[in-house]
Structures are given as C-alpha cells and as structure tokens.
Structure 1
Amino acid sequence: MTKRLLASIHDVGPRFEREVDQLAGQLSRILGGPKFAMLVVADHWGAAPLAESKAFHVRLRQWSDAGVEMFVHGWFHKDVARHSGAASFKARHMTAGEGEFLGLSEAEAAQRMADGKALVEDIIGRPAAGFIAPAWLYGPGAQAALANSGFALAEDHFRVWQPASGRVLARGPVITWASRTRGRQLSSRLVAGLARYGLHAAETVRVAVHPGDTTVPALIESIEATFGAFARRRPAGRYADLLAAA
C-alpha cells in the first residue's frame, strides 16, 4: 500500500493574497517544496474578481508552473440559496454561509463550474486538477452537474472521486481547522491532535488549510505540528497520483 499526504490551501484569490503567501511558505518549508494544491475562487463573495487581477494571474501561473495543482473552488463561495431539510442543517451548522453549491440547480451549478474552469485554465495555461465545492458541500444539482463537467477529480469531506464514473479514489476525513469562534478553534485543534495519532494507518491523508487560519497563532502551531507529524512518515503527493494509481 502506497501511503500519501495530500495538502491543500483553500479560498485562493486576490482577496487573501497575503494569507495564501503565508500558508504556501509554511507548507513549502514543511513538505520540501510546493507539494500542495490550491483551490481557486473566481470572485470571493463578489468582492474580489480574479478576472480583473492581472497581477494575481501571474502568481497563479507561477505556482502552477512550479507544480502546484489548481482546483476550481466555486465562483462566489457564498451561499445565498434558501434551504430546507438536511440541506438547511448543513448550511447552518457545517459552514457560515459558504456552501455555494448546496442549493444550486443543475443548470446554475453547471454554468458556474464551466465558467470557473474556463477562467482558471486560461490563467494557468493547463487543465484544472478538478473541482471542490466550497465547504465541501454539494446539493443534488451540483452532484448532477459534476458528472458532465469535464473535471477529472472532485472531493468532499470523506472521499475523492472521479465525477464522470463515480469511482472513489480515496476515503477518509479531511483534517482542517475552523477559526471563526473560539469554540471551533479549540475543537478543530483537538480533532487535529487526535488525527495526528489515529490516521497513520490510512493510505491517503488529506489536510486542508484556509486563509482565516493565519489569524490565530494557536491554529498555525497546530497546522505545523499536524503536517510535520504526517510528513515524517509519508511523502507529500499530488491528487493526480490517485488517478495514476486507479
């Protein structure tokens, strides 16, 4: 069994350029180079249009040329849909208004996926690595749209899969942190600490960081310890490795 570590930086875009730089530097140091993915948002909350930031285009192309995998991570990231049932619970408890693809129709989800794919691929000059919905939340419309999206990979909280075939390529929870309340900071640090000891037997370990993590020194320390613990036992790989091994 080939063990691998998959690292990712979420919410990449001009709105969080300083925070992304900090996280990219930290992960590069721990992992021995730019051995991580970036999840790119086209226009975060409608306040940071990537299409208009030519300087950030250059940064993305440089990272991509260095080997960083680029995923499309929604268009706005913000969720403005009205939900009911299970979707309402997810929207209220699993994210703070960030589940953009939880309540979209198939047509709207497909359009945003296509537009995001075209934008990112035009900037980096190569195919996007895949699609990962904001907050890892997919409604029925998004799930249906993904199957015909042309993306090679998709990811949620518990798996990585091929959208066209539905074939699951990796299973297991994503280790991540929450910064918006003290309670969530403490609980995410606790979970990360347990994962550092409990997930070493897993074939694929996924660890994701967000710009907000940089605002809490205790989270940065936990991120350092978590990546360090796994990197000592397994190499940092690429999501594309999952396709090669399939």
Structure 2
Amino acid sequence: MTALISIHDVMPETLDHVGRLIRRLKDNGHCAITLLVVPGRNWSADDIRRLTEWSDDGIELAAHGWHHRAAAIRGIWHRLHAVFLSRDAAEHLALDADAIEALMRDSAAWFIRQGLPTPTTYVPPAWALGPLPRDRWSSLPFRRIEVTRGIIDIASGRLYSLPLVGFEADTRYRAAFLRRWNRFQVWQARRRNRPLRVGIHPHDGELKLADDLAAFIKHGWKSRRMDDGAWQESA
C-alpha cells in the first residue's frame, strides 16, 4: 500500500519537533515526505537553512496557508467547522475568494523570495479551501491542492478521492473519534486499493494517539511525496 505522508504546521516554533518526526519516519523506511510550510511566521535565516537542507535531502516543501490562523469566525459553517474540527486554524474560511487567491499567491511567492524550491502543492489549513470558485483554480501558481476529500489536480480539475488518517487528539473525545475514523480510512484504502493520506502534526507524538502514530510509523507502507505523480496511477 502507498502512503502520502505529510507533516503539517511547519513553522519556526515547530522545527525541532518536525526534525524528530522526519528522523523517526526515515528510520522506519519512510523517506518520501511532504512538509507543509506556513510562510507568514517569523522565519530566521537559520530556520530557512533547515528547510533548505530538508529539501536538498529529497523532502517536498508544500505551501500551507499564510498565518495558519483565522482572523475571525465568519458565518455558521465556519463556526461549526471551528467547534468540531479546526478551532481557529481554518484560515481560508474567514476570507472571500479574492483574499483567498491573494493569500495563495503570496504563499507561493514567499518560497521564491527565500531561495526555496517553488511549491507545486498547496494545502489550506485544516484542509478547508473556502469559497474559491473552480474557474479560478487554473490561474493559481500550484499544480495540486489537498482538501478534506482528497487531492485536486488543477490542470484537469479532477478530485482524486483519497482516504485520510490523522493523530492530532488532545482530548479523549477527539482520540476516540479519530481512532474509529482511522480504522475506517485504512480499511477504505485497502478495499479500494487507494493511496492513504497520512497527516501528522508536530506534537502528535505527545498527544493521546501517540501509540497509534508510533505503530503506524513502524508499518510497511510505501511512502510517496505529493508531487510524485506515480501515486495517481492507483487513485
């Protein structure tokens, strides 16, 4: 089975945790990793150097919002999303289409200014793309966007529906829900012979599903980067 492994919320304040996760993954044979980088934080020259080293080592750098924090809660859907899923992380849901497009362009441009590889993958915080019409996708500076249901190929407009597992559980309720969710998603990946998306957050190894994450890392999944189009053949 194929796993698209991504580490979310890569920021200056999480780099040490991210580095430990990368070492754990690689020690268990998962070398194809995508890092979801949040550009609008307080990045130092040393922080950029670490991103450069990871990129040079074969890790994909993807764009992940701008601040990774919604400036306000906008509308009933955003409020429900915040309560049950994202808290204040769904940055796009507080914006209109023009602001979302501008944010995504700024996010891509930041990598170029830092001398980092131009990202071809964009993942909105909390996988929530927000009210961005489909007719605007083709003008965006990315080749693919990951959303809750799967990965959108911008050139074709196709959504590759892919199962998703996660381990960010800081309450007993979230842990119970995610454990059941993950079992179902893994079953779906096996039954449909689809790649499994694996979203890891920097502090997951310290939270209530740390043992589940450790067991997954030791599993014999074949990892792929999101910008490796080979996974699409089985999706």
TM-score normalised by structure 1 residue count: 0.84
Aligned residue type for 2:90: G
What is the distance in 1 between the residues matched to 2:6 and 2:63?
12
Instruction: List per-residue Cα deviations over 1:47-83 (Å, max 9, x = no partner).
Output: x422xx1101011011111111111000011012332
The aligned counterpart of 1:221 is: 211
Partner secondary structure for residue 89 of structure 1: helix
Shift of 1:116: 1.2
Partner secondary structure for residue 240 of structure 1: coil
The aligned counterpart of 1:240 is: 227
The aligned counterpart of 1:49 is: 42
Alignment check: 8 A CA contact 2:164 2:185 kept: no
Where in structure 1 are there 5+ consecutive unaligned residues? Answer: none
What is the distance in 1 between the residues matched to 2:203 and 2:133?
26
Aligned residue type for 1:125: L
Aligned residue type for 2:198: V
Where in structure 2 are there 5+ consecutive unaligned residues? Answer: none
Q: Aligned pair 1:6/2:4, yes or no?
A: yes
Instruction: List per-residue Cα deviations over 1:126-146 (Å, max 9, x = no partner).
Output: 220311000001211376654
Alignment check: 8 A CA contact 2:175 2:209 kept: yes
Q: How many residues align?
A: 232
Q: Aligned pair 1:137/2:128, yes or no?
A: yes
1:115–1:189 CA distance, 2 compared to 1 (3 A): same
Partner secondary structure for residue 199 of structure 1: helix
What is the distance in 1 between the residues matched to 2:204 and 2:19?
13
Q: Aligned pair 1:21/2:30, yes or no?
A: no
Aligned residue type for 1:38: L
Alignment check: 8 A CA contact 1:11 1:73 kept: yes
**RMSD across aligned positions (CA):** 2.3
Shift of 1:200: 1.9
1:142–1:82 CA distance, 2 compared to 1 (3 A): farther
The aligned counterpart of 1:206 is: 197
Alignment check: 8 A CA contact 2:163 2:185 kept: no
Q: Return the match for 2:33 from 29, 32, 36.
A: 36
